[in-house]
Structure 1
Amino acid sequence: MNTFPDLSPSAPRRGPRTAVKALVAVTAVAAVAVGGAWGAGLGPFAGESGPDPEAVAEARAFLADWAAGRLPAAAARTTRPDRAEEVLSSFTSGLDIDRPVLTAGRPVEDEESGGHAVTVPYTARMPVTGLGTWTYGAELPLRERDGEWKVDWRLSLVHPRLSGTEKFRLEREEAEPVRALDRAGRALSADAHPSLGPVLAQLARGRDGGGPRGAVLLVDRATGDVRRTEAAFGGPARRDDGPLRTTLDARWQSAAEQALRKAGGKNAALVALRVADGQVLAVANSPADGFDRAVSGTYAPGSTWKIVTSGALLLKGAVAPDDVVDCPRYLTVGKRFQNVETSAHPGATFRTAFTESCNTAFIGLRDRLGDGELGEVAKKYFGVGQTWHVGVPSYDGSVPEPRDATEKAASMIGQGRVQANPLIMASVTATAVSGRFHQPSLVATGTEDTTVTEPLPPRVVSRLRSLLRATVTEGTARVLAPLGGEVGGKTGTAEVSEEQENNGWMVAHRGGVAVACVVEEGVTGGGSAGPVVYGVLSGAPRS
């Protein structure tokens, strides 16, 4: 609950009036505002009886400063700067208002004032954080004294009902925790599975339809009694439609949360989903009660993206697994790119370049793809960059066309402006080994699918599966080798900035499940994300 502070009305202001109108423009801001008044018929052709353009300019400048958060500047334009700054600050912060939109209307001159008083009506659109926009109308009174126009301060100019006896209070209605079941009917809760806290809250809001609920109330300052509801947000309270059936598996969820402990306390995220249909089995984040990195995060995927790059190259026959490619320590394309630990593999095949994650080899193949081809393949075959309806808000990836040769080189290895998250990379892995994209889903029924993709040709799928398997048996994903069955994987190391260590990535598939993990500042994929992925695949049920 937020309460607007107890603010008494300002005392009336008295003082001599001047009979002389200022004839010079006050500032560049005023000139812009006068232009708006001119457009309303208030310019030099409006006659001597029209409002003084400087008054209109001052009103517009006040609204502009308030809207931009320049509260000391807005207050300085009033007759009570100290009082005005206090009230404006309390009003916007106390009611969780972010970036108001304030639009001036047609000014009206007080004829009895002899041209020394003007009223400027305005429309206020107040975005209440997390709820919606509160819209109302109010008026700015302006007076000219000693040749200078000022906003004549009073509480009612902020809102017509704000007074010495009444104030506003923001109340938020906490959503009832959704009752959720996993795919086998087992109960899910944030107590049992801490990582599901944010996810279950998102599922609850999605089921509400109207989103979060709350209200701005007008209350008596002395008693706190509610006088009226000024604005209400959200739809009607949710009906009890029974538990929400999800695609999650409580056993996989437990294994995922246990495995994330191997991230050493670093920020990390993991998603596991079924290859056959994209149904999500586990979503885990560290910290558990923070941002949902797994589904909504935006990361450079690093070398795990080479799955998509390889798919694009194999689709057009631009390379074959046994083709010899150049893999030097460094390659300069506008900037110097290098391999992890500046390794080199003379005479390497494309297969070796994939399994050892040779950056320079992939960059060296950049001219075999058109500038926009990588993004087109990502969207057409892997669904990346299309709009996904997962059941909760999600980030669905971005592969923009590179702006120059350096950016194209970076995109070949999952850097530059390529963005993804564990949900996307688990889906990419599932698509690579099955040949068909399936929109990921967290709820059993009711999600819309507007994606349009095409299946990968069987020959491409076969080669991608072989490359992923070889990366486990003889490449950088050897940490997964002790696992039984046909396990495939790919590591990734993604640069963040000069001030931060690299993020570590790993993707894998085993027994019809695809997994993706990112560990922020994990340095290397095999060293940081590898143990996490091994942990979830070894700890989760096989059936």
Structure 2
Amino acid sequence: MTHLPLTRRSARSPLKATIAVAVVCAVAASGAYAAGVGPFDHGSDPLDPAAAAQARAFLADWSHGRYDQAGARTTDPARAEDVLQSFTAGLDITTPKLTPSTARSADDGTLRVPFTAKMPVKGLGTWSYTSQLPLSEGKDGSWKVDWSLGIIHPRLSDKAKFRLEREDAGLPEVADRNGEPLAGDAYPSLQPLLAQFAGEGSSKPSGAIRLIDRLTGETKATETTFGARKKDGTTQGGKADSTAVKTTLDAAWQSAADAALEAEADGRNASLVALRVDNGEVLAMANSPATGFNRAVSGTYAPGSTWKIVTSSALLLKNAVTPQTVVDCPKHLIVGKEFHNVETSEFRGATFQKDFMESCNTAFISLRGKLGDAESGDVARKYFGIGQEWHVGIPSYDGSVPVPKDETEKAAAMIGQGRIQANPLIMASVTATAASGRFHQPTVMPGAKDSTSTTPLPPAVVSQLRTMMRATVTDGTAHVLADLPGEIGAKTGTAEVAEGEDNNGWLVARRGNVAVACVVEQGVTGGGSAGPILHRLLSAVPDAPSSNTPR
């Protein structure tokens, strides 16, 4: 290509000058306007306007994906078309915005048109940089973009190219109440649930454009980055990154809960929840296996005899019984069908407290006439918040206590069977309410909305419930927890599932400022299946965290 010095233009003959003007007009018409330059600035250029028009037309063709037309405006059409297309498509650039500025002359006789490139990378952000177009004039007076790889980007060459690296948004980083990261093998139950803490799709994607060696593939430089790049998940001191999603969970309780299920569930489906009595903040929720279905919070189970806490509250609230009232406990009782106690036990002349301690089904069913059909459900809603809408911070099932359809279903409801549905989250909350007298909506996320409205239990009822639950540990069916320190109160439960299947085993307990609940599917009895799990959990963690509010 011959480069003619710019100073020779003044020596042109009048005829050549006329032809040159015609060429300028033709290029401007076919380049700038026919190419659809659109938003480019057509301000006056101090040098040859035909060159400036060709530069603008090249940039317009490139930005609109007309790579063949853009290539035709260069000194190497085939190569230019191929590289423009592969660069734009290979880096997932959608619609480039290429803005030229004022042309200037160079010592080699070419014109240089600087431009700003704003390259939107699909799903990540915009990559911005500057480059320039060299243009030279041919013997016929037309201008062409002097093709080289550096036109596209100053650092693009025969030795180096760009590569887009996308980083999977993956799971959001989640921290416990003290800023400890909740990722890894110590918290297997949480890993399938992490996306729920920040909401599905809330984790922003990230990535980078790297300059790499064409021969070795070695990264030579990072040209730009998008989004929050993944780190090792912690900052100094083992704390989670400041952008981590904060929860009410406690790393020590969560780790101990997962370990307890792994050690004691014996391969059966099981789940548990631990929460603070004073404010409902969830300290741990664990599932075995950790498959992604959060049965601890979203499961639907008959709560069995753990529901007797609610039934007892209803009876005590209306003074239908006291803990010392004699309520006989026979082996069997027929109410449309035969109801019996576990292992057909019986306690003749038992007090109501003894019936509670030994989880006597027939005694509780015999008291069904003391309550209206809807009364247990009303008490569950008014005092325990069950059936109201809970805003836990993640998807949850908030319980159901329908009005019994007949006398048989009412008898079943007295012992947590029939159509009553709950899960460990609900039963841990029931236990906390019974221990403190006041319902606190369970939450996993700090500051969760609370639209519930409940009434505190009378102090006398709370005292009676706590006494009966303590006796259940010292002398009753929850004796598996008796050797642990602290005045633990508890209630076991055995819930029928279906004909021919083993019962689910339940155990709820309260120690200090923590209430826990555990269900083991087909665990047969609560003391025998859920008991060892909660024993291991409470042995591993001394008490609730001292702070009331997650930091």
TM range (shorter): 0.5 to 0.7
CA offsets 1:308-358 (integer angstroms, 9 cap, x no match):
000000001010000000211000000100000000100000000000000
- Equivalent pair of 2:275/2:429 in contact (CA under 8 Å): yes
Aligned-partner residue type, residue 488 of structure 1 = G
2:189 alignment counterpart = 195
- SS state at 1:188 partner: coil
Deviation at 1:245, TM superposition (A): 1.0
Sequence identity, in percent? 67
Aligned-partner residue type, residue 531 of structure 2 = G
- Counterparts of 2:169 and 2:436 in 1: how far apart (Å)? 39
Structure 2 residue 170 is the aligned partner of structure 1 residue 176: yes
1:428 alignment counterpart = 430
- Counterparts of 1:338 and 1:238 in 2: how far apart (Å)? 60
Change (3 A) 1:206 1:441: farther
Structure 2 residue 415 is the aligned partner of structure 1 residue 413: yes
- SS state at 2:508 partner: strand
- Which ranges in structure 1 are unaligned for 5 or more consecutive residues? 1-172, 213-236
CA offsets 1:347-403 (integer angstroms, 9 cap, x no match):
000000000000000000000000000000000000011110001000000000000
- SS state at 1:272 partner: strand
Q: 1:362 is matched with which residue: 349, 361, 364?
A: 364
Deviation at 1:301, TM superposition (A): 0.3
Change (3 A) 1:175 1:400: farther
- Counterparts of 1:313 and 1:324 in 2: how far apart (Å)? 14
- Counterparts of 2:373 and 2:352 in 1: how far apart (Å)? 21
CA offsets 1:482-509 (integer angstroms, 9 cap, x no match):
0111100000000000131100000001
- Equivalent pair of 1:178/1:201 in contact (CA under 8 Å): yes
Aligned-partner residue type, residue 258 of structure 1 = A
1:379 alignment counterpart = 381
CA offsets 1:151-185 (integer angstroms, 9 cap, x no match):
xxxxxxxxxxxxxxxxxxxxxx9753111111111
Change (3 A) 1:203 1:500: same
Query: With structure 1 as the length reference, what TM-score do the two structures score?
Result: 0.62
Q: Which has the larger radius of gyration?
A: 2
Aligned residues: 345
CA offsets 1:2-28 (integer angstroms, 9 cap, x no match):
xxxxxxxxxxxxxxxxxxxxxxxxxxx
1:315 alignment counterpart = 317
Aligned-partner residue type, residue 277 of structure 2 = V
Aligned-partner residue type, residue 180 of structure 1 = V
1:41 alignment counterpart = none
Deviation at 1:418, TM superposition (A): 0.3
- Equivalent pair of 1:194/1:289 in contact (CA under 8 Å): no
Aligned-partner residue type, residue 527 of structure 1 = G
CA offsets 1:261-308 (integer angstroms, 9 cap, x no match):
201110000000000000000010000123111000000000000000
- Counterparts of 2:394 and 2:514 in 1: how far apart (Å)? 21
1:531 alignment counterpart = 532
- Counterparts of 1:493 and 1:278 in 2: how far apart (Å)? 25
- Equivalent pair of 2:493/2:506 in contact (CA under 8 Å): yes
- SS state at 2:199 partner: helix
- Counterparts of 1:287 and 1:427 in 2: how far apart (Å)? 23
Deviation at 1:202, TM superposition (A): 1.2
Change (3 A) 1:316 1:197: same
- Counterparts of 2:169 and 2:316 in 1: how far apart (Å)? 49
2:497 alignment counterpart = 496
Task: Calculate the aligned-residue CA RMSD, in Å.
Answer: 2.0
Query: With structure 2 as the length reference, what TM-score do the two structures score?
Result: 0.61
Change (3 A) 1:443 1:207: farther
Change (3 A) 1:203 1:469: same
- Counterparts of 2:245 and 2:304 in 1: how far apart (Å)? 36
Change (3 A) 1:207 1:322: farther
- SS state at 1:431 partner: helix
- SS state at 2:434 partner: helix
Change (3 A) 1:507 1:479: same
- Equivalent pair of 2:171/2:203 in contact (CA under 8 Å): no
Aligned-partner residue type, residue 434 of structure 1 = S
Deviation at 1:207, TM superposition (A): 8.0
Change (3 A) 1:280 1:206: farther
CA offsets 1:69-106 (integer angstroms, 9 cap, x no match):
xxxxxxxxxxxxxxxxxxxxxxxxxxxxxxxxxxxxxx
- Which ranges in structure 2 are unaligned for 5 or more consecutive residues? 1-166, 206-226, 230-240, 546-551
Aligned-partner residue type, residue 503 of structure 2 = N
